[in-house]
Structure 1
Amino acid sequence: MTENSKVALVTGAASGIGEATARALVAAGAKVYLGDINEEGAKAVATALGSGAEAIQLDVTSAESWEAAVTRITAQSGSLSVLVNNAGIFTPGGLEAIGEAEFQKTFEINALGAFLGMKAVVESMKSAGGGSIVNVSSSAGLVGVKDAIAYSASKWAVRGLSRSAALDLAPYSIRVNSVHPGIVETPIFTGFPREALDMMTAALPQPRLGNPEEIAAMIAFLASDQASFCTGAEYTVDGGYACA
């Protein structure tokens, strides 16, 4: 980022990539709101980050929750200039194994959440004269993934949302890009046995887990004015997963 006037909202900011992104944006000089349904977790991160960060409770599946968050942010800090739609869940299960309720919940958080977030910030970003929206998809949104049909499909949806929104919002100088992390050492993989993670990463061109800071660096770049000619694009940070 190149100036200290940006106001950013990062979802899923209580841990993992969201937390690392909030840290990166605060370090770059932005005022950052850490949105998470886990408000206490977000408060702990915000306290550690100091006056440049503030926690805000946010249920990304609720339009009303988004409206309340954006209203509070604009009242306190002025127009939003950066939105990072990072909140998401991983739901394991192939076509025959996963149920309708699990599939729907995955889409509500991963895809509907990004859709509602973009809609909620458009007017504020117009008032700011433009902005940057970064939607966190996944390498699973670029390739098919066995035994993760709901997760993969929802992340493909985020990819499509980002491309279409980039076209819709370009006249207002609002940029929209998607970031596609690979296998990253975050709480989303907490339930995976270490042996399974080692097997998954062994086949990568860069055979290791990614770390949240590597993803956050890409997001911070796309949020900055250095990326002013970048919109409607997909940025992989996956150790070569999608091309292996």
Structure 2
Amino acid sequence: MKKKKPQVFFITGAASGIGAATARLLASQGHAVMLADINAKGVRDVAASLGSNADAVALDITSPAAWEAALDLTYSRFGTLDVLVNNAAIVVTGNARDVPVAHHQRTININFMGPLTGSLATLERFRAQGHGHVVTVCSMVSFMPFPGIASYGASKQALRAFHHALAFEERNTGVDFTIVHPTATETPMLEQEERDDACGFAFLADPVSPEFVAETVVTAIRRKSIEVFMPPEQAKVIRSLGTDAPRMRKLYAQMEEIGRSAQHERRQSHNPNSH
């Protein structure tokens, strides 16, 4: 079997979590990687650990001008770009009524408008070169609303809709589109949710590691999968339940109790002296 030649990847949110794990995996496979994050020092430290075939750029994904500069740097450094991985996201926890509107807006700006801006900026170059691959790291909450992270879920539902609409529009251009939906993942974001009582739903299922998600993302890219769900054995149930609001309301109390119990156990394991 002929080995696929190395490609050039651009990954956002690469200073930690899923983005950093994906960059490490791709670099270990011989690919070139441009790591991007608003955390300039963090992303440069990760890139420095990956060797000469990795580089880093500080990037505010909500800025069109910053995207153009980052893409210019990528093409200057590596000569081309094959795959964009839109991964960066934030979460603001708490009941929606307790979260300032400005924080809801920031979540939408980063989680939805950021990938939208990056996809369109990169798409222009992919169309010009006749090939490319837009990869969106979304979330299973794009199918199921989660209390405690209402605007996060809204941003991910919007992101899924945009990704597929864009893919339909560009279906004859030679550009591929893949979207991946991780379940709860052991990242700083999940640690933030652990501390907030409003986020019990986030712990209904056992979280997976960033490395597990990275392997799933890279496999999906290689296969040019259209849409991938995690974990696959639970995805059908989650998607069905998430679109059945009456059923969700009937099960809410039970689901919340299960999630909060798991959340409490995590807190105890991380801080045995907590109450």
Q: State the TM-score, normalized to the length of structure 2.
A: 0.78
Residue 236 of structure 1: which of 187, 212, 229 is its match? 229
Matches within 5 A, 1:113-152: 113-152=114-153
Shift of 1:209: 1.6
The secondary structure found in structure 2 opposite 1:172 is coil
Q: Note the alpha carbon deviations across 1:12-63, whole angstroms, 9 max, x for none.
A: 0000000011112212222100000111101111111111211111110100
Shift of 1:111: 0.2
- Evaluate the alpha carbon distance shift between residue 43 and residue 193 of structure 1 in structure 2; reply closer, same or farther with a 3 A threshold: same
Contact 2:93/2:196 (CA < 8 Å) preserved in 1? no
Tell me whether 185-194 or 170-179 shows the greater mean CA deviation: 185-194
Matches within 5 A, 1:58-77: 58-77=59-78
Contact 1:21/1:219 (CA < 8 Å) preserved in 2? yes
The secondary structure found in structure 2 opposite 1:161 is helix
- Evaluate the alpha carbon distance shift between residue 94 and residue 242 of structure 1 in structure 2; reply closer, same or farther with a 3 A threshold: farther
Matches within 5 A, 1:14-93: 14-93=15-94
Which structure carries more relative contact order (alpha carbon 8 Å, separation 6+)? 1
Q: Which amino acid aligns with 2:111?
A: N
Q: C-alpha separation between the residues in 1 aligned to 2:214 and 2:33? A: 14
Question: 2:177 is matched with which residue?
Answer: 176
Contact 1:79/1:127 (CA < 8 Å) preserved in 2? no
Would you say how many aligned residue pairs link Structure 1 and Structure 2? Answer: 235
Tell me whether 171-180 or 61-70 shows the greater mean CA deviation: 171-180
Q: Which amino acid aligns with 1:45?
A: V
* Alignment root-mean-square deviation, CA: 2.3
Q: Which amino acid aligns with 2:75?
A: T
Q: C-alpha separation between the residues in 2 aligned to 1:11 and 1:94? A: 28
Q: C-alpha separation between the residues in 1 aligned to 2:203 and 2:152? A: 22
The secondary structure found in structure 1 opposite 2:15 is coil
Q: Which amino acid aligns with 1:212?
A: P
Tell me whether 162-171 or 9-18 shows the greater mean CA deviation: 162-171
Q: State the TM-score, normalized to the length of structure 1.
A: 0.88
Q: C-alpha separation between the residues in 2 aligned to 1:100 and 1:181? A: 27
Tell me whether 90-99 or 128-137 shows the greater mean CA deviation: 90-99
The secondary structure found in structure 2 opposite 1:240 is helix
Contact 2:94/2:196 (CA < 8 Å) preserved in 1? no
Q: C-alpha separation between the residues in 1 aligned to 2:84 and 2:39? A: 18
Shift of 1:166: 0.7
Verify: 1:216 aligned to 2:210, yes or no. no
Shift of 1:223: 2.4
Q: Note the alpha carbon deviations across 1:72-127, whole angstroms, 9 max, x for none.
A: 11122122110000000011233322222011100110000000010111132224
The secondary structure found in structure 2 opposite 1:79 is coil
Contact 1:133/1:223 (CA < 8 Å) preserved in 2? no
Contact 1:93/1:150 (CA < 8 Å) preserved in 2? no
Q: C-alpha separation between the residues in 1 aligned to 2:73 and 2:196? A: 45
- Evaluate the alpha carbon distance shift between residue 241 and residue 95 of structure 1 in structure 2; reply closer, same or farther with a 3 A threshold: farther
Q: Which has the larger radius of gyration?
A: 2
Residue segments in structure 2 that go unaligned for 5+ positions in a row: 239-275
Shift of 1:200: 5.4
Q: Which amino acid aligns with 2:166?
A: A
Q: C-alpha separation between the residues in 2 aligned to 1:37 and 1:193? A: 24
